[in-house]
Structure 1
Amino acid sequence: MAEAIALIDYGAGNLHSVYNALKAAGAQHVAVTADPKLVRGAKRVVLPGVGAFGACRKELWSIPGMIDALEESVLQKRVPFLGICVGMQLLADRGLEHGSHKGLGWIGGEVHLIERTDPHIRVPHMGWNDVGLTPHHGDHDLIDEGEAYFLHSYHFVPEDGHDIAAMTDHGGGLVAAVARDNIVGVQFHPEKSQAYGIDLLRRFLEWRP
């Protein structure tokens, strides 16, 4: 029987493109859902996200029972979890986009505006860029070196460097992926990263943390 994958529906703009990418990667049963019961019963959880941290946070928290269901599934049952773009940023303690907004707090750190240290560097960070592994990517072999598509103005700054699985360079180092136990988040968009992104999603479907 195919594993049920819960793709969280809270109005994220990249929801359907992530769904299509998961199917292209070989997923048989992807439930696009805002139902906490389905999240509790899922074997894998994917949290997409585009836009502002605070707006995404508001929409996710507005679904009755969703945060409790996510914590039960991911933190207690240790179901494999993948956060994409803002879905990755929501793992932080808080985001500082248009005010201070509390995140899930699953991986300690904050989400800050990308600083323009070089006048030739544009914000938002948009387009294709290299993804390089860090010495701390450990057993999280979901992440591989390659080239991925990014689109963001804010970036995740983890408290513990051991949570950083991959970096990219845009006028300085930016976190491209975080990982801890059964939790992985990527700043880039695998659904827009062609073969590189599909390969990552395929590994996620097979991952046994």
Structure 2
Amino acid sequence: MAANQILPKQVNESIVEFLTTEMVEAMVRTVKDDALKLSSERDTAHGNPNDGAGGPKDYSEGDEAMEAVYYKLEMIGFRVGERLIEKISKDRMRFTDNLDVVKFICKEVWMFLFKKQIDNLKTNHRGVYVLQDNNFRWFTRMANDQSSAESVKRVTPYLWFPCGILRGILSNLGIASVVVAETSSLPACTFQIKIAKTA
């Protein structure tokens, strides 16, 4: 091998999945710990020291702490998406419209991230795009009980990071959007992209 030959960087796919899982878990732990600390300080300041009865609060969907987790994960994903699209689209011609961008995400970006294309793309041709992934790669190891409400609730935080990636990609391409995701049966999930109307 020539001394000046540069080998391509390669990262094991499992490592990326484990990193994503640990990032979500660390974010949940950090935000919950911060909320518990703030609650304890508040109780102490008001003369109601926590006597330990009841144990730590169970944070659930709609809770302020979990909303903070979702926001932080989405923002991390947003920054990743902004940088990712620069790498993926650097040799590509300019996109002509929003549908071309979404098709590029469904084919090229999904292939880059998950080694497959989106299974189904639907649009109402008025700025709403629905991307269906029937075997979302990050959920394949979590899909023990595919339809239980508990399993779906457990994976909800993991949807915010890819939502942020999609929004970051679109933002870097000059498209303001709102991206939400949901799942009702693992490992399938649906991403909905709403393109903001331009004045």
More helix by share: 2
* Higher CA-based Rg: 2
- TM-score of the aligned structures, taking structure 1 as reference length: 0.23
Q: Which has the higher strand share?
A: 1
